[in-house]
Amino acid sequence: MSIVKTKVGRRAFIRNTSLASGGLVIGFSWLNSCKPKEAAKIVAMEMPKEWFQINGFLKIGDNGVVTIMSPNPEIGQNVKTAMPMIVAEELDTAWKNVLVEQAPLNTDIFTRQLAGGSQSIRQGWEGLRMAGATARTMLKQAAADAWQVAINEIQTSEGVVSHTASGKSATYGELASAAAKLEVPEEVSLKETSDFTIIGTDKKNVDGHQIVTGQSLFGLDIQKEGMLIAMVTQPPAFGMKFKAIDSSKAESMPGIKAIFPITVYPEGIKKQWSDGGAVPEMVAIVGESTWQCMQAKKALDITWEQAEKAEDTAYHNRELDNLLNTKPASPARADGNVEAAFKNAAKIVESTYSAPFLAHNTMEPMNFYAHVTPEKAELLGPIQTPEYLELTLAEVLEMPLEKIDIMMTRMGGGFGRRLYGSFGVEAAMISKKMNAPIKLVYTREDDMAQGTYRPSYKIRYKAGLDEEGNLIAWHVRGAGTNDDLVFENRFPAGAVDNYLAEKLSLSTNVTTGAWRAPRSNFIAGAEQAFIDEVAEAAGKDPIAFRLELFDRAISKPVGDTEKNDYDPERYAGVLKLVKEKSNWQIGDNRGVAAYYCHNSYVAQVLDVTMNGDTPKVGTVHCAVDCGIVINPLSAKNQIEGGIIDGIGHATFSELTFKEGEPQQHNFDRYRLMRNTEAPEKIETYFVDNGIAPTGLGEPSLPPVQGALANALYKATGRRYYQQPFITDKPPLVG
């Protein structure tokens, strides 16, 4: 049992909201209308007559039913199930008695309401445990007061408080009213991890029933009284801006209410990082229905003007090549002397890897509901960064924060795209101008052509081996569009005597941003493919070669060990686990890779067969060390998703540019992996080490691209240096 303080940092983590505000803090009345009417039907439990708010995270009904708020945005990473599981664990209630609700943005109660960096669970862990433990302590205190016994003689189990000596017991429902009136304790004790009964068990997605029955859950599903549909047309190419419009034809089309140019971001406005992909000026189309707006949008006659350089993919590639031939002014990290080591090396291996821009392509295109009046702004929709959206809205709407309400819907995918919430700002500005509630809808074409893309990259590695096949020198130089790519303190830094990491960035007007596992989503695959080449040159088994390097990093680390951004023992641990589970042996058209990112370690072994030019992955074995696994059922789903995502994009996907214009606008030309192309089987093995949980939504994606490249080499005899590995156009389906 560990004792923790209930106040952390500048915020009181846990506040007794019933004392503070005298009422519920959860839910805005205007939001209730968007809850599915059938919600009650699906809940096979009786609703309480009265709810008692214990703290901002939970309320308890008079019949013992508990509602737990899930504070963070849900993008498919399943935090809406996992976060409440953590609260329920420390509350010590039965999971079957728990209802889950999505919390609105509320910076007074919740910290870091953000979906990104695979950090929701890691950073929420303590606060969520504390929320549950605080409530449990208050329920125990309420019982102690009523029974006139000492609180430390009281136990809890599955929603019941009991006192063994007197034989007294009461349910949480019976005690909730008294508990809600108590002061929040200064410190509370947390459960031993070995006493967990909910954490570590398979729990089904709390929204599962609504998803499979097609209920309204997503931003695009929002319907409100008097709501109009809005669309926007943004410049067709990067480097262009709006000049003039002739909307006479489109305006007279059926259902169309208004068409106008709009400045979403007035000049001089203070932007947040989340406004990264924002276009300041565009054309808005407002009408009665989505289809009518789509037709009018096609009929617009807009003149754009060239404001900046029009860039082509050929230009990006040429410039990145030039950067790889440029020595940067200073290295990101330098240990030993690589130049001297290369001179003495018995063997040198050198290779260059590249990858294109990628769009996020969430299945649900960008959208947002907004109703802005002079008095207040109500926004509802899919956003990974609601807190930052609110800050920008306060600027552009010239409204204080407390007049702005933001609620998150379940999101049809995120992958980083919805970190950049300019679509929310667009919705608000259009609503303000129309003085009406609107739902902004991007078409798939808008969504794909108006992204904040994964940058395109090139990276060159050079390795030197001595006579015995020991790695004695490592030089990496990486370049990316708007991104300098290299993580200089990650493996193999610390495992090689002579190490040099250099990074360079090419400035481009194509907007780029975080895409699932930023940077790692390319560099892991490149590095792990290169290590394979080096192991081969050294005449060593690829797993044994990697383990040797980890041994070196453990026994005699190179350079400033404080800087090394990984734990070589845990790294080696996943590699050994996957070796054992996959019955590793060289040959078999198999490839291996391991990587560390988002505070977690992943190692994979997969096999591949060629079907003509197209690879087909058989079984992927995946070992993961992400500390305590909250919900193994959905944790495996995340791992599988990352693997399929990684293999799919490395094999098929790319976004190219001609005169600043994306050349892929929809899934007819942008190829995403399909069912028959997905691996036959994915086996996931978690390391059980009781360490506090770390990232899970991203870490399985990066290494799998390396494992695939290495298996492809075994299957075809050639190395794969350029993504996408297959560049055929997609077959037409449907």
Partner 1 sequence: MATFNLKINGETKKVDVDGSTPMLWVLRDHLQMVGTKYGCGIAQCGACTVHLNDNAVRSCQLPVSAVGEQEITTIEGLSENGDHPVQQAWLEVDVPQCGYCQAGQIMTASALLKKNPTPTDDEIATAMNGNICRCGTYTRIRKAVKMAADNS
Kindly state the smallest distance separating residue 584's Cβ from partner 1, in Å: 22
Should residue 76 be labelled a site residue for ligand FES when binding is judged by CB under 6 A?
yes
For ligand FES, which residue of 328, 413, 469, 632 counts as binding (CB under 6 A)? 413
229 binds, among partner 1, ligand FES, none (CB under 5 to 8 A by kind): partner 1
78 binds, among ligand FES, partner 1, none (CB under 5 to 8 A by kind): partner 1
Closer residue to ligand FES (CB): 78 or 705: 78
Structure tokens at 490: 């990650």
What is the DSSP code string of 301-357?
EEEEEE-S----HHHHHHHHHHHHTS--SS-SEEES-HHHHHHH-SEEEEEEEEE-B
364 binds, among ligand FES, partner 1, none (CB under 5 to 8 A by kind): partner 1
Kindly state the smallest distance separating residue 705's Cβ from partner 1, in Å: 14
9 binds, among ligand FES, partner 1, none (CB under 5 to 8 A by kind): none
What is the DSSP code string of 419-445?
GS-HHHHHHHHHHHHHTS-EEEE--HH
φ and ψ at residue 526, rounded to 5 degrees: -65, -50
The rounded distance, in Å, linking the Cα atoms of 641 and 649 is 12
| SS3 (DSSP) at 546 | helix
The rounded distance, in Å, linking the Cα atoms of 13 and 584 is 48
Should residue 40 be labelled a site residue for ligand FES when binding is judged by CB under 6 A?
no
Closer residue to partner 1 (CB): 67 or 631: 631
Kindly state the smallest distance separating residue 641's Cβ from ligand FES, in Å: 8
| C-beta of residue 99 within 8 angstroms of C-beta of residue 60 | no
- Tell me which residue has its CB nearest to ligand FES: 363
Closer residue to partner 1 (CB): 492 or 697: 697
The rounded distance, in Å, linking the Cα atoms of 608 and 555 is 35
Closer residue to ligand FES (CB): 42 or 363: 363
Give the CA distances from residue 497 to residues 488, 549, 566, in Å, rounded to whole numbers and listed in that order: 14, 11, 17
Kindly state the smallest distance separating residue 76's Cβ from ligand FES, in Å: 5
Give the CA distances from residue 49 to residues 46, 54, 60, 173, in Å, rounded to whole numbers and listed in that order: 9, 16, 11, 11
Report the half-sphere exposure of 329 (CA within 13 A, side-chain side): 1
Closer residue to partner 1 (CB): 209 or 376: 209
| C-beta of residue 494 within 8 angstroms of C-beta of residue 557 | yes
φ and ψ at residue 663, rounded to 5 degrees: -90, -5
The rounded distance, in Å, linking the Cα atoms of 79 and 82 is 5
Burial group, residue 367, by CB count within 10 angstroms (0-12, 13-18, 19+): buried
Kindly state the smallest distance separating residue 9's Cβ from partner 1, in Å: 32
Closer residue to partner 1 (CB): 229 or 472: 229
Should residue 666 be labelled a site residue for ligand FES when binding is judged by CB under 6 A?
no
Quick note: the x/- pattern for ligand FES over 352-391, rule CB under 6 A, is -----------x----------------------------
Kindly state the smallest distance separating residue 365's Cβ from partner 1, in Å: 7
Radius of gyration over alpha carbons of the chain, in Å? 27
Kindly state the smallest distance separating residue 173's Cβ from partner 1, in Å: 28
691 binds, among partner 1, ligand FES, none (CB under 5 to 8 A by kind): none
Kindly state the smallest distance separating residue 363's Cβ from ligand FES, in Å: 4
Which of 99, 27, 33 has the alpha carbon at shortest distance from 56?
27
Closer residue to partner 1 (CB): 174 or 447: 447
CA 224 to chain centre: 29
Kindly state the smallest distance separating residue 625's Cβ from partner 1, in Å: 21
Please count the residues of this chain forming the interface with ligand FES, following the rule CB under 6 A: 3
Which residues here bind partner 1, judged by CB under 8 A? 41-42, 75-78, 202, 204-205, 207-209, 211-218, 220-221, 223, 229, 254, 289-291, 294, 361-365, 410-415, 443-444, 633-634, 637-638, 640-645, 648, 666-668, 672-676, 678-682, 733-734
Kindly state the smallest distance separating residue 527's Cβ from partner 1, in Å: 23
Closer residue to partner 1 (CB): 209 or 271: 209
Closer residue to partner 1 (CB): 262 or 633: 633
Kindly state the smallest distance separating residue 225's Cβ from partner 1, in Å: 12
Instruction: Give the containing element (helix H, strand E) for 576.
Output: helix 568-581
With vertex at residue 28, the alpha carbon angle to CA 25 and CA 32, rounded to the nearest 5 degrees, is 125
The rounded distance, in Å, linking the Cα atoms of 112 and 414 is 17
Which residues contact ligand FES (rule: CB under 6 A)?
A: 76, 363, 413
